[in-house]
Structure 1
């Protein structure tokens, strides 16, 4: 079990570094204006319209890196800075979120699967570890294995999230470059921002995987 604890510690440390890298990368390219002078909101609106998604609104939300696409309400939401600032980072993030809207339009399989699984898997992520711990404390195999099943479902959510996010970034970079919204080094900057964001999803999956393995390690020990 010591190996599991060591690996978990290393992964948590790596996760902190990844978050720090994302924050520093985002800050760097938030200060770099894009040549065309388009804000994130303008980029999002133009890409949406070009893809026949004129009915999808672009809204501003508070916070930093709170940007997301809501597949239920069919709306792209951008954080305040990305919404109104003509930076490379804003363009990258806006195009990425619109990438999710395009996925929704074309019924991208992984996005549809994630949307269907989300309610159940959120329960698994919240209650799985708790059930495992309660099962161990009360020496209840039933609760323990129920927690394992719940937590395994949360791991599946992290796994399904990876292709969804990677594909949205791929679509974003292709559009930004092909349509000339970003040029030259700006495209490289956008790729750097989106690659840094992708690392956070990879680290989340790795941590969830090691947590599940550590729980299974308790079962083998007992």
Structure 2
């Protein structure tokens, strides 16, 4: 009786969940470890970010404090980098690494980094596809219309495309951050190692997100194909 009702594609959901969970735990653990390591120069992450931006001619970009932990982000439309509670006033190598990473995104926009242009360009399309995908998919399943369900699955695939484009922008921002931290002597020696490990752990969350979405996409396709059969 159990085997009759059990959907084997749930295995993909479980794998996706575990990948995301382990990546999230990894970045929190790594950040926590290197958040206890103070930079020898004693500068705050906000100050480091200001120096990096000014050195790249980005004096027009503001730095603001935002609530939460690891909610740091760069908003190109508002010309502002927002650093979280765990980052803004911290002098740790982890916080400075995170701040430098966000500055890396600002520099990407300044130099016209192609992947970030593509990512920004497809955002409206991805938002529409994401909004429509699951309703169309579910209606297709309920009505037994495999082709309609497949349309929903394909629309969901736009999310995967977006994440695939996002991945290189995140990796590149981290590379820019590490080069800048070293060239401007904001961190040195083992401090750079700590910042690099923090950013690598953060990058793994994006890798996990891509893998998770790919598994979800595969599941939707399998379910839609089952209806078509």
TM-score, structure 2 as length reference: 0.91
Q: Is the 8 A contact 2:126 2:159 kept in 1?
A: yes
- CA RMSD, Structure 1 to Structure 2 (Å): 1.6
1:181 to 2:178 alignment = no
Partner of residue 3, structure 2: none
Q: How does 1:42-121 map to 2 (within 5 A)?
A: 42-121=47-126
> TM-score normalized by structure 1?
0.94
Q: Deviations over 1:116-160 (max 9, x none)?
A: 111221233344233212211122346423312320111100100
Q: CA deviation at 1:26?
A: 0.9
> Highest CA radius of gyration, 1 or 2?
2
Which residue does the alignment assign to 1:28? 33
Contact 1:4 1:210 in 2 (8 A): no
Q: What residue ranges of structure 1 are gaps of 5+ in the alignment?
A: none
- Structure 2 SS opposite 1:19: helix
1:125 aligns with 2:130: yes
Write the distance in 2 (CA, Å) between the matches of 1:129 and 1:192: 37
Counterpart Cα distance in 2 of 1:155 and 1:202: 11
SS in 1 for 2:81: strand
Q: CA deviation at 1:102?
A: 0.1
Count of aligned residue pairs for this structure pair: 222
Q: Distance in 1 between matches of 2:35 and 2:9?
A: 38
